[in-house]
Chain A
Amino acid sequence: MTENAIIELRKVGKWYNSYHALRDVSISIKKGEKVVVCGPSGSGKSTMIRCINRLEAHQTGHIIVDGIELTDDVKAVEKIRRKVGMVFQNFNLFPHLTVLQNLTLAPIWVRGMAKSEIEEIAMMYLKRVRIPDQAHKFPGQLSGGQQQRVAIARALCMRPEIMLFDEPTSALDPEMVKEVLDVMTELAGEGMTMVCVTHEMGFARQVADSIVFMAEGSIIESGSPAEFFENPKSERTRQFLGQILEH
């Protein structure tokens, strides 16, 4: 497959007991590429990106991230998790820590950075997601959109090479979706490798290098946004696009 792929999945299979969640999923993502993954619920798109940092373990096939294969080897998993940042649907901020502490915790404990050094960097990231004034508040005092931007900043503080987004705007009130997407668009402009599960087709059209459509645990088709939206190859994709773009 591709030589310069930073993420490579080869015939990845996963079962939850007898439920077949991923069927021979193969995908290759280059450094700096932005991939949007879409598909109906239960299609395995979240499962797939959660396999990339081993929040879920795959059972067959190979996943190679930046040259390291993901196995049961804890060291390999730890290495990969340092390179891969993740943003969740429900933010998953640590409610007992302030915003700043949320950002600095992992760099201090995992990367061994000095507190003063990382606090400065964290403030820089908070400025970039436009909430430096909330640094000393607790997550529970912030709006959903603000919390999700903190979550993005938290992942960025680990200086990841890859960012995974698992439906980052699905739990947000409509008026807050834009502020999060703006931050993500900005990040994409800076050359970050991004894999994003989302239903925001406008974002996909604007930002994605390629769009991957999944259904029933398989990749049905993938291609550039232009191809995907204007000229979908499979009937299943047309059906999905019909439903999602209708309103």
Chain B
Amino acid sequence: MSKQFPADQAPIPTGPVPPAHWAASYEEEPTQASTPPQANGMTALKPFGWAKDNLFNTPLNTVLTLACLALLWLVVPPAANWLLLKASWSGSSEACREAAGACWSVIVVKHRLIFFGTYPYDEQWRPFLACALFVAMLGASGVRAFWRPWLAVAWALTLVGMGVLMWGGVAGLSYVPNDRWGGLPITLMLSVFSIAIAFPLSILLALGRQSSLPAIRTFCVGFIETMRGVPLVSVLFMASVMFPLFLPEGVTVDKLLRALAGMTLFTAAYLAEAVRGGLQAIPKGQYEAADALGLSYWQKTVLIVLPQALRIVIPPIVNQFISAFKDTSLVTIVGLYDLLTAATVATTDPEWRPYFAEVYVFAGLMFWIFCFSMSRYSQWLERLANRYTRR
């Protein structure tokens, strides 16, 4: 500016004036940084003060707080009554009819059908044992101290053991063909196996999508985009109805296996995109440093790129795992009895039909337990992975 202003006519600053509380907060800052100020140190002592500061500090917040309280008042007591307080926990369907709340007796009566479907009733200890073994191994695999070579051996033994238990036909166990399997074993096996196979497959697809070889790149892009472009239901239909038409006469592939293949390929396509996100987040310098040290493509990928890329994408990968777990319930359309389908079957008994809601709440709870465990585990894994690398 060239014009000179007399001191008393200085131009008014045109920029926005900082609100008064900015200045206040600057003043509050300790001049000598020694210990951080105790944020809200009073809250523990004065809950009413906290509520006044946070819930009723403006008219809008006061209205919203009251509205929330009213909503809770409307929802919580009836829900608690139905779910717990006035529920009927045992006895016949007559007892349920008189109770005002949920009829959990239906679960007591039908739980074996829900969990094990049409597996021969007297043999249901076998799928129970198989599931228990499976879940125990899944849990053990999550523990860091067990990440040793023998874990692979233990898994091989577990899978053989599960096969023996489920199919039987050896060691005095009667043979149960897998079209009689149902319920929890189907849900667990389909989801875990499809995820376990899809995950390495997805890494290859994601790497292939970035390949410098056009044939590989085109194939991977084509596969991923095709799978992502169609609903899982149609993939399952293709696998179970159309795929057998292409096979030579006399060759059959098991229905369960076909569904598993369909789910695996579908999940792999989605996972591949999550993994690709991680690959793209790795700075170019990491590739260059690995190249400069003379590492080969696979050494670079396995030792440098993937360990970093996969850490970054733990949240979307687990998201996909959870999604795949719940998607197993879609295999019902190709005639497989997963947990949810078995639950539906349980509601067809005329005596217990009125209590289908309870059955679905229970099935939902089962799904939630597994999905929530995965979610919590992924949070732990993220913390572990990022413990030292945080900058």
Residues of A within 8 A of B (CB): 53, 55, 78, 81-82, 84-86, 88, 90, 92-96, 105-106, 109-110, 138, 140-141, 154-155, 158
Contacts and interface: CB of A to CB of B under 8 A. Distances in A.
B294 A82 contact: yes
A162 B292 CA distance: 12
B47 to A, nearest CB: 40
Contact of B288 (A55, A85, A154): A55
Contacts of B294: 78, 81-82, 106, 110, 158
Contact of A81 (B292, B311, B388, B391): B292
A88 B290 CA distance: 12
Interface stretch (B116-124, B231-239, B249-257, B301-309): B301-309
B40 interface: no
Contact of A96 (B283, B291, B389): B389
Contacts of A155: 292-293
Nearest first, the 4 A-B pairs at minimum CB distance are A92-B289, A106-B293, A81-B294, A92-B285
A27 B365 CA distance: 73
A85 B304 CA distance: 18
Given A94-B286, A96-B311, A110-B299, A85 B292 contact: yes
Contact of A86 (B292, B304, B390): B292
A158 B291 CA distance: 13
Contact of B295 (A85, A90, A92, A110): A110
B199 to A, nearest CB: 19
B288 A138 contact: no
Contacts of B31: none
B296 interface: yes
Contacts of A95: 308, 389, 391
Given A55-B288, A88-B288, A94 B304 contact: yes
Given A95-B308, A138-B389, A109 B291 contact: no
Contact of B303 (A78, A81, A90, A105): A105
A10 to B, nearest CB: 23
Contacts of B295: 105-106, 109-110
B293 A110 contact: yes
B292 A138 contact: no
Given A96-B307, A96-B311, A140-B390, A81 B291 contact: yes
8 contacts: A53-B291, A85-B292, A92-B286, A95-B391, A96-B308, A106-B293, A110-B299, A140-B389
A53 B292 contact: yes
A84 B388 CA distance: 30
B306 to A, nearest CB: 10
Contacts of A106: 293-295
B366 to A, nearest CB: 37
Interface of B: 283, 285-286, 288-289, 291-296, 299, 303-304, 307-308, 311, 388-391
A179 to B, nearest CB: 20
A78 B291 CA distance: 9
A122 B388 CA distance: 21
Nearest to B300: A109
A141 B293 contact: no
Contact of B285 (A82, A84, A88, A109): A88
B117 to A, nearest CB: 44
A140 B311 CA distance: 16
A162 B272 CA distance: 40
A155 B292 CA distance: 9
A141 B289 contact: no
A55 B291 contact: yes
A93 B286 CA distance: 7
A94 B289 contact: yes
B388 A140 contact: yes
B258 to A, nearest CB: 39
Nearest to A86: B292
A109 B391 CA distance: 27
A86 B294 CA distance: 11
A110 B389 CA distance: 25
Contacts of A90: 283, 285
Contacts of B293: 81, 105-106, 110, 154-155, 158
A140 B391 contact: yes
Nearest to A110: B294
Contacts of B285: 88, 90, 92
Given A78-B294, A94-B286, 16 more contacts: A55-B291, A81-B293, A82-B294, A86-B292, A90-B283, A92-B285, A93-B289, A94-B289, A105-B293, A105-B295, A106-B293, A110-B293, A140-B391, A141-B388, A154-B293, A158-B294
Contacts of B390: 140
B383 to A, nearest CB: 15
Given A96-B307, A105-B303, A88 B388 contact: no
A88 B289 contact: yes
Nearest to B284: A92
Contacts of A158: 293-294
Contacts of A88: 285, 288-289, 292
A81, A106, A140, most chain B CB atoms within 10 A: A106
A96 B302 CA distance: 13
A109 B302 CA distance: 12
Nearest to B385: A96
A82 B291 CA distance: 10
A53 B303 CA distance: 21
Contacts of A154: 293
Contacts of B291: 53, 55, 81
Contacts of A140: 388-391
Nearest to A137: B388
Contacts of B303: 105, 109
